[in-house]
Amino acid sequence: MSLTIYDTTLRDGAQQEGISFSVQDKLKIAGLLDRLGVDVIEGGWPGSNPKDAEFFQRATDLGLDHATLSAFGSTRHAGRHVEDDPGLGALLGAQTEAVALFGKASAVHVRRVLGVTLEENLRMIEDSVAYLKEHGRFVIYDAEHVFDGYCDNPDYALATLEAAASAGADVLVLCDTNGGSLPNEIAALTAAAAKRFSVPIGIHAHNDSEMAVANSLAALQAGASHVQGTVNGMGERCGNANLCSILPALRLKMGHAEILPDRLERLTETARAISEIANLQPNLNLPYVGESAFAHKGGMHVDALAKYTRSYHHIDPRLVGNHSRVLVSELSGKGSIAYKIRECGLDIPTNGPRGRRVLTQIKDLESRGFQFDGAEGSVELLLQRSSPSYQAPFELMGFHVLVNRQEDGRLSAEAAVKLRVGEEVIHTAAEGNGPVNALDTAVRKALLPIFPRLASIHLTDYKVRILDSAGGTAAQTRVLITTSGEERCWSTVGCSANIIEASWIALGDALEYAVTIAGAGTPRTVEARG
């Protein structure tokens, strides 16, 4: 039986705390999902908000290559005719080939939440499915709370599935709505349903027990052939089943040839692009697609990887478009620097004096509190700077920062900076929310006229760590900054007993990287790189 990948990032994924997609965001994501090769894209719940209705209107222009669109909605209201039900009307109005219709499968929910009789709920399911079928839709029936319902009242749960199937539903999706089930429970009901019904069975899992991926695979192993999930596992509470972990497992561990290798190679870039659109802090530890997923810190692992590439990787990271990283740190040897040089695509003999010089420099800086294992941007700059022909795009000559709190509690922060760019000396000042923001603002004010593309570069994270905790406020301070450009992001590090100076060092590296490596420099500067 062929496998259907059903993505609900745009509907269930958008329920995650802090996520709010614009229609434009949703259109962009739909395009990315199509390129990734998912079979069905659930675009939204047209009956619940006008934004989703607008999405479906505009989605017809998307020209999707492979994927089908689906709209989500619920069974008719109690005591209403299907023709008069506004929800079903909106669902048809979305003009999608497929619809996902959810109905209640748990007797407790029917009585206590819906407040209707068990019989009426069965008729609601039947009528609604039949009505959508009459209108030519491919009907995916989502059985909400069916695992909990099956525990409490198995006969009724199966009767609801029967109602949907007999009315013509094309897929019966078993939903672990509260995410509380364990794989053996998922497998048991899935196997029973697959045996009883001739239509394909689907699985919709939530991650409240950290089981969503395992539960989805357990269902597929037990006879399901349709799997629902979201990119990066976005979703309400603890999220939905993570398609970015399910797709590679299906192809690389379970032998499902429907997941095509050239699509799978887009997984990492798709996951990161959607995370950016959602404006989420990237989760480094995400399986398969995370920045750290194939990263190694300990010297022992790095040595082992050099001897046998599979030694600490469960798959070849290139298969999912990710890559292996070595976190350069004081524990590293020459091997890690050589690895880094290759990773950055630099033209430096990996075992020559330049690589050794940079390694010595890294060790020296780390002994003074720098930490490079989260700061590849700074490492890449150290490597670039080791070239005799490298020219820094700007140089900080000095600054002062003043923070003032008056007796009425009013606060101000101001920074003055003096920078040299080529022959030019720029002296300017700015205010900010705080001292580091004032410094950042002043430096950008000085550089923007010369490097206008810095306007699209943003600081996305700023972390501070106190190193020698016993030193209290006099301790060495390490600042780690993450910066995002149009296509990539990089991290840089600074360290000093003075937090302002530590911030400046990391900030200076972040901006220098933007100009010399990430392409925010002027054409003249870009030429100077070669």
Site for a copy of itself contains 127 (CB under 8 A) = no
* Residue number, 137 or 296, with CB nearest to a copy of itself: 296
- Going by C-alpha positions, the residue among 231, 153, 237, 233 that lies closest to residue 189 is 153
179 to 198: interface string for a copy of itself, x by CB under 8 A? xx-xxx--------------
**Taken in order 132, 138, 141, 142, is the CA torsion positive or negative?**
negative
Q: What is the DSSP string of 450-491?
A: T-GGGGG-EEEEEEEEESSGGGGGGS-EEEEEEEE-SS-EEE
The count of residues interacting with a copy of itself (CB under 8 A) is: 126
* Residue number, 81 or 314, with CB nearest to a copy of itself: 314
Site for a copy of itself contains 308 (CB under 8 A) = yes
* Residue number, 95 or 292, with CB nearest to a copy of itself: 292
Site for a copy of itself contains 257 (CB under 8 A) = no
* Residues 428, 416 contacting (CB under 8 angstroms): yes
* Residues 457, 444 contacting (CB under 8 angstroms): no
Among 125, 130, 249, 421, binds a copy of itself (CB under 8 A): 249
Site for a copy of itself contains 286 (CB under 8 A) = yes
C-alpha 443/C-alpha 85 separation (Å) is 59
Q: Which of residues 330-359 bind a copy of itself (CB under 8 A)?
A: none
Site for a copy of itself contains 371 (CB under 8 A) = yes
Q: What is the DSSP string of 99-168?
A: EEEEEE--HHHIIIII-S-HHHHHHHHHHHHHHHHHTT-EEEEEEETHHHHHHH-HHHHHHHHHHHHHTT
Q: Which of residues 130-159 bind a copy of itself (CB under 8 A)?
A: 145
Minimum distance from CB of 196 to a copy of itself (Å)? 24
Residue 79 has φ and ψ, to the nearest 5°, of 75, 15
Q: Which of residues 388-407 bind a copy of itself (CB under 8 A)?
A: 396-407
Among 237, 318, 342, 524, binds a copy of itself (CB under 8 A): 237
Minimum distance from CB of 399 to a copy of itself (Å)? 5
Among 84, 134, 210, 364, binds a copy of itself (CB under 8 A): 210
Site for a copy of itself contains 18 (CB under 8 A) = yes
Site for a copy of itself contains 307 (CB under 8 A) = yes
C-alpha 434/C-alpha 438 separation (Å) is 6
Among 191, 192, 315, 344, binds a copy of itself (CB under 8 A): 315
Site for a copy of itself contains 507 (CB under 8 A) = yes
Angle at CA of residue 317, ends 327 and 514, nearest 5° = 50
Q: Which of residues 68-107 bind a copy of itself (CB under 8 A)?
A: none
Site for a copy of itself contains 503 (CB under 8 A) = yes
Site for a copy of itself contains 418 (CB under 8 A) = yes
Site for a copy of itself contains 13 (CB under 8 A) = no
* Residue number, 134 or 468, with CB nearest to a copy of itself: 468
The single-letter code of the amino acid at 514 is A
* Residue number, 348 or 483, with CB nearest to a copy of itself: 483
Q: If DSSP states are collapsed to H, E and C, what string results for 183-251? A: HHHHHHHHHHHHHHCCCCEEEEEECCCCCHHHHHHHHHHCCCCEEEEEHHHCCCCCCECEHHHHHHHHH
Site for a copy of itself contains 466 (CB under 8 A) = yes
Minimum distance from CB of 350 to a copy of itself (Å)? 21
- In the chain the first and final C-alpha atoms are separated, in Å, by 54
